Chain A
């Protein structure tokens, strides 16, 4: 079996399995938080959509960009290898005629798609509820797609990094928490080139840096102190981050012996 085919089969196995786990149910429920918030705000802001809707859309993006995709990537990414070791199911996978890297790549792809779908549904519902007054405006859909694209890239980059941590470390989730909610949250506000040592910097560089709805501060809150990288460069760097950490994860998984805790 070719590696490509093996990746596809592993993807199929874990996408099917991943949809029904308790973890997915919990994180899908978490995705309802911005939807509920959007509904509540729509009711409260009835008749005053414009600028305020734009501001709250920005707050929603803070939730998605700096919390939801990070926590999703952390739990799914680290679990790509770790849940097989902790659950002792690794024996079922590595005694099959598939190259070990195909297990990592297939499972990474399955979990990334799963996360993307959760984010897409949550973002679509909350975004369009919040901006219901502008549903006839074509620019709204472009904005939505650009947000979704940024979040998708974020999922790919963060998940690759956390997958690598999960293959390498026993307590990857703790290190991941420090990285995702410590380092990433602090370093992005450093001036100059220091902020480029965070993933979120490149994601924010891709956001439309203009006022929404014709007024207000637009993404001022989210883009506070951002010294953006050119969009094309940002996309390339995110792709490199994802590629490098995935390759490292595959390399570690191929060579490392995983022992079950007695």
Chain B
């Protein structure tokens, strides 16, 4: 399949600070998730694709055309920035319609497209309200509307689910998936694995400006599974609970928290541990107050992968 977006040896520096380091990546149609912790280089990569920045080394093309200082390429691209910024004195309709003016549409077409985009994001009812009065969810949705109003082939969404409540996230994910089903290319960034997982199976892991891994979700999961997980269980009798895991070979390390009520394990087989934990709790009649994974976040996985 031909790459819609192709980055070759792409590097970007902010003075002495490395933003992106020798990234070579082909993005095909469908949804691709760009996953990485904050400051990993996701936004830098997206700004390079959308021609907002010029690469120091290497090059990036969108449908075979360079993005920097090439206005023609933006007819095909819809970009939804991460920042929660707007022309606050505009209404939602004025904002979307105003930006549509830059595509050379007639007044009636602008009106029609703006109305359609606002309808897609369910903002028709609130289209005449000033953006400054919008809730966070509405602001995210109007930002998405301006990105899709001109019907682009490629949609680039920088952390679109940030700050949304679970219901809002679910709606947004549905919207993005619908867009994908129309055969378009969607590149979406996030620092939360389950968010990306809900959107696509195709993931690119980025950290400290470098692509660490790319592949489908099972592959990424596999990488994560290879990372020893830390699980903390707070219970009425942590030592009795720990005793039941002494002979368990899947456990690499065991310790107790300073509060005297927490039992912490490190394991490669998290699912197996949870299975056994349920049995141990039931058999021992131990009351479990809380189960948490202190390092069950991307940063820990990235640190593990970088260390590897």
Contact = CB atoms under 8 A, between A and B. Distances in A.
B52 interface: yes
Interface of A: 1, 5-6, 9-10, 12-13, 16-17, 20-21, 87-100, 254-255, 257, 259-260
Contacts of A99: 71
B53 A257 contact: yes
Contacts of B102: 1, 6, 9-10, 13, 93, 96-98
Contacts of A16: 94, 98
A257 B50 CA distance: 13
Q: How large is the interface on B (under 10, 10 to 19, 20 to 34, 35 or more residues)?
A: 20 to 34
B304 interface: no
Contacts of B194: none
A87 B85 contact: yes
Contacts of A90: 52
Contact of B104 (A9, A93, A95, A254): A9
A1 B75 CA distance: 11
B99 A89 contact: no
B270 interface: no
B69 A95 contact: no
A91 B14 CA distance: 18
B54 interface: yes
B113 to A, nearest CB: 14
Nearest to A24: B89
A97 B81 contact: no
A13 B74 contact: no
A1 B103 contact: yes
Interface in B81-119: 81, 83, 85-87, 89-90, 94, 98-99, 101-104
Nearest to A95: B79
Interface string B49-64: 0111110000000000
A88 B85 contact: yes
Contacts of A93: 102
A208 to B, nearest CB: 40
A254 B69 contact: yes
B50 A13 contact: no
Nearest to B158: A91
Contacts of A98: 71, 102
A6 B81 CA distance: 22
Interface in B28-55: 47, 50-54
A91 B52 contact: yes
Contacts of A97: 71-75, 102-104
A26 to B, nearest CB: 14
Contacts of A92: 81, 87, 99, 146
Given A5-B104, A94-B51, A17 B98 contact: yes
B199 interface: no
Contacts of A9: 101-102, 104
A10 B99 CA distance: 9
B85 A95 contact: no
Most interface-central of A88, A90, A97 (chain B CB within 10 A): A97
Given A1-B104, A10-B102, A88-B81, A95 B51 contact: yes
